Structure 1
Amino acid sequence: MRICFEALSDVYIEMENELKKIGASYLIRYAIEEMKKVVRAYIEEAKWSYNKDMPRMEEYMKVAIVTSTYITTSLVGMGNLVTKKDFDWITSEPLLVLASSTICRLTNDLVGYGFEKKPTAVECYMNENGASKEEAFAELEKQVTKAWMDMNQEWLRPTIPVSMSVLTRVLNFTRIAHLFYVEDDEYTNSKANIKDIIHSVLVEPIVTV
């Protein structure tokens, strides 16, 4: 734990030093506070596993949505493209971010069923409702569909008080989660398909004229 803490601290110190150059070092506080939330949620998940507890779906999702959060820290590296207002919005748990986190968490749990070493939404739903695996999958897939509908609805609202670059970042992270978990857990078990996609995007991108 100490090794992990020191490594994480070094990352945030380096980020803060870079942000000072553009007069935005205050942004690192948002990333640190969000990371604290993630660590607390990890502790809850560890307690469930250690005590062999199976939480109810509502309790599970409150924690699991936090552990799937990955957006706030990425905004820090966008420099002057983001503002304090953007960070205030994204850390207030708006519907767009909750929908994105729900998609990430549930698709991950669906493809990870059977080899995850901690409670997942599938087991929680089955245990709480006396449901079969097939019934649990059907319900969670409905929730993923609803989350995509929520994202589409939010994108069509012209009143969200943040920049388009932030909204695009949220959407792109969600699309990446879908890509990783559409058929298998290719984030944990990277296969040639994902490697080829990353290579085509970052190493040999298609140049449009």
Structure 2
Amino acid sequence: MGVGLTSAATSVLNVTSLVGMEDALTPEIFNWAFNNPKIIVVGSIHARLFDDIISHKFEQERGHSASAVECYMREYGVSEKEACNELKIQVDNVWKDMNHEMIFSETSKFFPMSVLTRVLNLTRGTEFMYKAGDGYTHVGQATKDGIKSLLIDPISISAPEN
């Protein structure tokens, strides 16, 4: 998992996303982010597992390294379906850890919510990209429509006038 988390590059993306925060960014926040806090680790686990569940067949055809699915199958002697089901449970558990880190952890008491929300939003983004298939490698209409509805044609959430 350690190699898999590094190759997911989610930690780097989280740190990079902080650069745009300008005034809210402090050396303490960078030091925190560079030391793999739990919220960033669980976001990386989410990205790695979700990517591997969705894309491992395609990656096998291309001769890439073993995915979490293949590693789980070998380690526990289970079928591909059983491995995917177990890894999906782990992905679901990541959300429990993410919610705990956002609300109850020491991190949530010492760092601005805007910093934690960036980590949360990156995890939400990976969920969006892989929920209906590999929307990162094989960008289809669902991915394009989702991005368009978010960034180009957003839904107004203003309260109705009386």
Identify the TM-score tier after normalising by the shorter chain: 0.7 to 0.9
Describe the shift of the 1:112–1:204 C-alpha distance in structure 2 as closer, same or farther (beyond 3 A).
same
1:62, distance to aligned residue in structure 2 (A): 0.2
The answer to whether the Cα contact below 8 Å between 1:89 and 1:162 also exists between their aligned partners in 2 is no
1:153 maps to a residue whose letter is: H
1:207, distance to aligned residue in structure 2 (A): 3.6
Aligned equivalents of 1:201 and 1:81: distance in 2?
25
Of the candidates 142, 148, 158, which is equivalent to residue 193 of structure 1? Answer: 142
Give the count of matched residue pairs.
149
Q: Counterparts in 2 of 1:124-135, with a 5 A limit? A: 124-135=71-82
Structure 1's consecutive aligned runs of 4 or more residues displaced over 3 angstroms after TM superposition are none
Of the candidates 101, 105, 108, which is equivalent to residue 154 of structure 1? Answer: 101
Q: Counterparts in 2 of 1:116-127, with a 5 A limit? A: 116=59, 117-127=64-74
Aligned equivalents of 1:198 and 1:95: distance in 2?
28
The answer to whether the Cα contact below 8 Å between 1:86 and 1:163 also exists between their aligned partners in 2 is no
User: Which of the pair has the greater relative contact order for Cα pairs under 8 Å at 6+ separation?
Assistant: 2
- The structure having more radius of gyration, on CA atoms, is 1
1:89 maps to a residue whose letter is: W
Percent sequence identity over aligned pairs: 41
Aligned equivalents of 2:65 and 2:77: distance in 1?
19
> For residue 14 of structure 2, what is the aligned residue in structure 1?
71
Query: Is 1:171 the counterpart of 2:120 in the alignment?
Result: yes
- Uncovered stretches (5+) of structure 1, i.e. residues with no partner: 1-60
1:99, distance to aligned residue in structure 2 (A): 0.7
Describe the shift of the 1:168–1:122 C-alpha distance in structure 2 as closer, same or farther (beyond 3 A).
same
Query: Is 1:204 the counterpart of 2:153 in the alignment?
Result: yes
1:101 maps to a residue whose letter is: S
TM-score by length of 1: 0.67
Instruction: Give the alignment's Cα RMSD to 1 decimal.
Output: 1.4
- Uncovered stretches (5+) of structure 2, i.e. residues with no partner: none
> For residue 40 of structure 2, what is the aligned residue in structure 1?
97
1:158, distance to aligned residue in structure 2 (A): 5.7
TM-score by length of 2: 0.85
The answer to whether the Cα contact below 8 Å between 1:103 and 1:144 also exists between their aligned partners in 2 is yes
Aligned equivalents of 2:100 and 2:87: distance in 1?
20
